[in-house]
């Protein structure tokens, strides 16, 4: 059948789109490419799964460099995400702004944000 399996899936509107690298005319969305995200997910899976074979490259994936987080901090987030965060994650000042816009007084995980995402 023509077109079957050839459609491009659309992203649900409630999810931020991948908008590529940071630039002057930056649209709202996640500041990296889908391919970089998938590379990060793959790298994380290799690092976290005890049963996964193969060595993890010593160089950081480009996305970690761009968001300014260390390998150790990323692995801690991947392994313990729900322990530290419930709603927002990122640089503390951005999380505090989101809380203010939402009418909340504080966010669970703000101390972890300060520790893991220094300004």
Lowest mean pLDDT among 28-32, 56-60, 113-117: 56-60
pLDDT in tens, 66-84: 777 888 888 888 888 888 8
Please check the confidence at residue 50 and state whether its pLDDT lies above 70.
no
State the pTM of this model.
0.56
Beta partners for residue 30, in sequence order: 18
Q: What mean pLDDT is predicted for residues 85-101?
A: 88
Lowest mean pLDDT among 1-15, 59-73, 79-93, 104-118: 1-15
pLDDT of residue 3: 47
Asked if 95 and 113 touch (Cβ cutoff 8 Å), the reply is: yes
Widest CA span in the chain: 55
Asked if 79 and 72 touch (Cβ cutoff 8 Å), the reply is: no
């Amino acid at each position: 059948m023509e077109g079957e399996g050839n459609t491009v899936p659309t992203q649900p509107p409630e999810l931020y789109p991948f908008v590529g690298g940071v630039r002057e005319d930056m649209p709202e969305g996640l500041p990296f490419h889908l391919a970089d995200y998938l590379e990060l997910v793959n790298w994380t899976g290799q690092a976290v799964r005890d049963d996964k074979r193969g060595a993890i490259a010593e160089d950081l994936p480009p996305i970690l460099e761009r968001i300014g987080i260390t390998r150790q901090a990323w692995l801690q987030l991947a392994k313990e995400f729900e322990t530290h965060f419930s709603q927002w994650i990122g640089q503390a000042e951005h999380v505090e702004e989101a809380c203010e816009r939402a009418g909340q007084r504080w966010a669970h995980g703000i101390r972890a944000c300060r520790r893991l995402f220094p300004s």
